[in-house]
Structure 1
Amino acid sequence: MPQIPIYVDSPLATKATRVFAKHHKELEEGAVLMRGLKSRHLHFTETREQSIALDRVQGFHIVIAASGMCDAGRIRHRLKNWLWRDEGTVLFTGFQAVGTLGRILQDGAKSVRIQGEEFAVRARIRSLDLYSGHADGTELRDWIKERLPIRHQLFLVHGEEAAMQGLAARLAGIVDAQNVLRPELDEGFVLTATGAQHLATPKLPRLPGEQVARLDWHNDASRLFLDINDALLSSLDEKARRVLIRRLQKALRNGEEVPTRPQ
C-alpha cells in the first residue's frame, strides 16, 4: 500500500491513545503499536479549527472519527463532507444499533438528513464485523460457565432481540431456562438473597415490546422530508413545484393523503 495520511479526529481517542502509548510495554505487540504511532503520516486533531480543516485535505487519506454509530460527534461533520461524493468510503468498524444514523446508512439508505440538511449517499458503505472490543457469544457463554453455579436469575438486558435469543440458546444446559430473564421496558425487579422478585407495574410500558429498538415516527418524518425534497427537485419547472407545495399544504389542513410526485 502507498503511504497514506491518517487523521484521528477525536479528542477522546487522542487521550485514550496517549494512555495506550504510556503503557505499551504491557500490551501484546506494544512495540509495533509505538512504531505506528511515531509514523510521520499519523496526525491528531486537537482543536475545532483543525477538525474543520480536514474538509480541505486533498488526495487519498483516512479519517478516524467518532461516534461509532454516527449519532453525535465529529463523524457527522465528516459524513456531511463525504457522503455525497462518489470517491468516498465510509467504513464501519463496530455494531450499528437499529434507529441510529450508522444503521440507516448500513441498511442502504439513498439519502439521509444530518443536522437538518439532506445528503445523497453516493459514497461506498462498508463494514468490518470482527473489529470490536466486546466479547462474542462464545466468550460470554464461557464467562458465565466460569461463574457456575448460578443459584438465582441471569438477566439479559443489552442487545437486539435476535442477539439475546441467540445468547439464551447458547446457555441451554448451562443455566436453567426459567432462570434466564429478558426484562421488557419498564419492568422492575428487587434483588434479594433468595432471588429476584418481580415488581408490580400498574402503568403500561412507555412502548409496546415489539416497538422497542425499532424505527419510529421520527424516522418516518425524515423519510417524508426527503421524499418531498426529491419530488420538488424532480419537478419540471417552478409551476409544478408550486402545485405540489399547494397540494401538501391542503393535505395538512384537511388530513388527506397526497402523492409524493405531482400528477
Structure 2
Amino acid sequence: MKISFHGADRGVTGSCHLVECAGKRILIDCGLYQGSRELDEENAEPFGFDAASINYVLLTHAHLDHCGRLPLLAKRGFSGEIITTSASRELVRLVLLDAAHLLEEDVRHSSGRLGHDGAAHDTKAPLYSTLDALNCLDYLGRTAVYSQVLEVAAGVHATFIDAGHILGSASIFLELEEQSHSTSVLFSGDLGNTGRLLLRSPTTPPQAENVVMETTYGDRLHKPLGPSVDEFFEAITETFKRGGNVIIPTFALERAQELLYFLSQGIAQGRLTKSTQVYLDSPMAISATEIFRRHPECFDPATAKLFQDGHDPLDLPGLHFTRETADSVAINNIHGGAIIMAGSGMCTGGRVRHHLQHNLGREDSSIVFVGYAAVGTLARRIIDGAKQVTIFGENIPVKARIYTINGFSAHADEAELLTWQKQTCAKRTFLVHGEDDTMKQFAAHLSDTRVEMPEPNQAFDL
C-alpha cells in the first residue's frame, strides 16, 4: 500500500493524489493547474503515472482545480470509474464542458496572432476538446451518498462526508486492507467554513491514521462574516453614489449563489433598493444556480426551509441572467448603477475580463474581490496593487477602487483547519493545496502528528 502526490504539492491548484492498494490504483481528484502561463504548460506535462493504469477516480468536488484534468486523463487512456456525490455529478458536467469551451476559445483567439517578429505563429491544440470532456463523462459511475460506506473494490472502502465547501463537496475517508495489513487515509478535499448561510457546516471527521489536508488559508484567520457583508453593501452603496458600476469577479460554484443570497437579503432589509440591477453574466453560474435548487440535501436547514416554503433566497427583483454573448456585450453600455457578477473569480478567463477592460480604468467604478486569487493570476496582480494591467493586449490603468473582502471565503481558515486536523487524531499528516510559506506556518502548529509536505511525484509507504 502506498500513496503518491501528483498535484497541489507546494502549491494551491491541480489536486491529484494516487493510492495503491490490493492491486488497485485509486486517484483522489485530477485537477487543473490554474494561474500563470507556466502552470498552463504544466497541465500538458505527464501526470507522473500511467493514466490507463488508474482503476478509479474518487472526486471530492467539482471545482476546476480538483476535476479539470479528468478529460485529459481519459484522453490519455483512463477507462475506469469516476465516483462522486449526486450534486458533484451534475456540477462536474457543467464545469468540464465550460472548461473545454474556454480552452478551445483561447486557441481560436490566439490563432493568427502576430509574434514580436510580425509573423503569424502556429498555435497548439487545446489541452482537451469538448468531445474529450463528453467522452470523460461516460466514466461517471456509482453515486456516493454522504456518510454511507461504499465498497470501491475488494480491500478498499470509501466514505464521503460533507466538507461544507461547495454544493456536493466531500472529504473522503478510505479504509484500506491488503493481505494482513490495514490502514486508513482521510482526504480533506477543500474544507468549508462553519456557520455558512447556504450550505451545511463541514461534518466532524472520523479518526484516521493518515490525513491528507488542504492548507489554503493555513496561515490566517478570516474576517467574520457579518462585517464582511457590511463591507460588501458599503462598497456597493459608495460606488453607486459615485455613479459607477460594481464588478465582482465571481466563482460560478457557491460564491455566486452566496452573493445572490446576500443581495436578496439586502433588498429585503432595505439596505439596497428594490430597483438594484444585478447581472449574473456567467452561463456556468446560471446553470449552477439552477442545480443548487435541486439539491436541498446540501443546504443549511434554515435555507432548505425557505425553498420548501416557496421563498427562493437566490432570486431578487432586478436580477438578470445573461447567457447569450450579445446580452453580455450589451452590459458594456451600462455606465453606472449595475452590479455585474462574472467569471472567472481569478480573472484568468471568462467574461469578467471584458468588464474589467471597460471599468478598471474608471475612478467611479469598483472591483470587489470576494475569493482566493492564486499567484500569477490577473486578480492577484490587481489585489497586490498593480498600477496597470494588460487585458486582451490592451494596457489598462487601474483607477477603479479595489476591495478585497476575505470573509466570504469558502475555505476554512487556520483555526478551523487546526480544529479539523486535531479531531482526526492522525499519526501522520500530509499537507497539500497551499503555498509553501503557508504550509510551513501551519505545520509549526502541529505537534501531535508526523508532518509531511510532499514534493511533486513523491511517494510514501502506507
Asked if these proteins are the same fold (TM beyond 0.5), I'd say yes
Partner residue of 1:156 out of 413, 431, 434:
431
For residue 131 of structure 1, report the CA deviation from its aligned partner.
0.7
- Tell me the TM-score normalized by structure 1: 0.64
- The structure that has the greater radius of gyration is 1
Q: Within the alignment, does 1:165 sit opposite 2:434 as a pair?
A: no
The one-letter code of the counterpart of 2:356 is: L
For residue 62 of structure 1, report the CA deviation from its aligned partner.
0.3
Residues 83 and 120 in structure 1, CA contact (< 8 A), matched pair in contact too: yes
Task: Give 2:111's aligned residue.
Answer: none
Partner residue of 2:419 out of 142, 154, 162:
142
Q: Within the alignment, does 1:191 sit opposite 2:460 as a pair?
A: yes
Residues 8 and 45 in structure 1, CA contact (< 8 A), matched pair in contact too: yes
Q: Which has the higher contact order (CA 8 A, sep 6+)?
A: 2
**Unaligned 5+ runs, structure 1:** 194-263
Matches within 5 A, 1:88-167: 88-150=365-427, 153-167=428-442
For residue 35 of structure 1, report the CA deviation from its aligned partner.
4.2
The one-letter code of the counterpart of 1:56 is: N
Superposed CA deviations along residues 25-73 of structure 1, whole A, max 9, x for unmatched, are 8434422894443322111111111111111124301011111111111
Residues 69 and 95 in structure 1, CA contact (< 8 A), matched pair in contact too: yes
Q: Within the alignment, does 1:44 sit opposite 2:321 as a pair?
A: yes
C-alpha separation between the residues in 2 aligned to 1:127 and 1:22? 31
Report the 3-state secondary structure (helix = DSSP H, G, I; strand = E; otherwise coil) of the residue aligned with 1:170: coil
Report the 3-state secondary structure (helix = DSSP H, G, I; strand = E; otherwise coil) of the residue aligned with 2:444: helix
Cα distance 1:147–1:58, how it changes in 2: closer, same or farther (>3 A)? same
Task: Give 2:283's aligned residue.
Answer: 11
Residues 9 and 74 in structure 1, CA contact (< 8 A), matched pair in contact too: yes
Tell me whether 14-23 or 89-98 shows the greater mean CA deviation: 14-23
For residue 113 of structure 1, report the CA deviation from its aligned partner.
0.3
C-alpha separation between the residues in 2 aligned to 1:44 and 1:27? 25
Superposed CA deviations along residues 61-88 of structure 1, whole A, max 9, x for unmatched, are 1011111111111111110111011111
Report the 3-state secondary structure (helix = DSSP H, G, I; strand = E; otherwise coil) of the residue aligned with 2:382: helix
C-alpha separation between the residues in 2 aligned to 1:22 and 1:57? 33
Report the 3-state secondary structure (helix = DSSP H, G, I; strand = E; otherwise coil) of the residue aligned with 1:103: helix
Cα distance 1:132–1:34, how it changes in 2: closer, same or farther (>3 A)? farther
C-alpha separation between the residues in 1 aligned to 2:405 and 2:379? 13
Residues 6 and 61 in structure 1, CA contact (< 8 A), matched pair in contact too: yes
Residues 80 and 114 in structure 1, CA contact (< 8 A), matched pair in contact too: yes
Report the 3-state secondary structure (helix = DSSP H, G, I; strand = E; otherwise coil) of the residue aligned with 2:323: coil
Residues 21 and 34 in structure 1, CA contact (< 8 A), matched pair in contact too: no
Q: Within the alignment, does 1:174 sit opposite 2:448 as a pair?
A: yes
C-alpha separation between the residues in 2 aligned to 1:29 and 1:41? 24
CA RMSD of aligned residues (A): 2.1
More strand by share: 2
C-alpha separation between the residues in 2 aligned to 1:190 and 1:162? 22
Task: Give 2:339's aligned residue.
Answer: 62
C-alpha separation between the residues in 1 aligned to 2:335 and 2:384? 29
C-alpha separation between the residues in 2 aligned to 1:160 and 1:111? 25
Cα distance 1:34–1:71, how it changes in 2: closer, same or farther (>3 A)? farther
Cα distance 1:28–1:122, how it changes in 2: closer, same or farther (>3 A)? farther
Report the 3-state secondary structure (helix = DSSP H, G, I; strand = E; otherwise coil) of the residue aligned with 1:144: helix
The one-letter code of the counterpart of 1:181 is: E
**Unaligned 5+ runs, structure 2:** 1-271
Residues 94 and 128 in structure 1, CA contact (< 8 A), matched pair in contact too: yes
Report the 3-state secondary structure (helix = DSSP H, G, I; strand = E; otherwise coil) of the residue aligned with 2:340: strand
Cα distance 1:180–1:54, how it changes in 2: closer, same or farther (>3 A)? same
Report the 3-state secondary structure (helix = DSSP H, G, I; strand = E; otherwise coil) of the residue aligned with 1:90: strand
C-alpha separation between the residues in 1 aligned to 2:296 and 2:335? 33
Report the 3-state secondary structure (helix = DSSP H, G, I; strand = E; otherwise coil) of the residue aligned with 2:395: strand
Report the 3-state secondary structure (helix = DSSP H, G, I; strand = E; otherwise coil) of the residue aligned with 2:367: strand
Partner residue of 2:300 out of 27, 43, 63:
27
C-alpha separation between the residues in 1 aligned to 2:301 and 2:367? 29
Task: Give 2:349's aligned residue.
Answer: 72
C-alpha separation between the residues in 2 aligned to 1:116 and 1:97? 21
Cα distance 1:94–1:34, how it changes in 2: closer, same or farther (>3 A)? farther
Residues 111 and 121 in structure 1, CA contact (< 8 A), matched pair in contact too: yes
Residues 155 and 183 in structure 1, CA contact (< 8 A), matched pair in contact too: yes
- Tell me the TM-score normalized by structure 2: 0.38
Superposed CA deviations along residues 119-176 of structure 1, whole A, max 9, x for unmatched, are 11110111101111112122222222222242xx4222222233212211222x231x
Residues 24 and 34 in structure 1, CA contact (< 8 A), matched pair in contact too: no
More helix by share: 1
The one-letter code of the counterpart of 1:190 is: A
Task: Give 2:230's aligned residue.
Answer: none
C-alpha separation between the residues in 2 aligned to 1:116 and 1:34? 45
Count residues with an aligned counterpart. 185
The one-letter code of the counterpart of 1:4 is: T
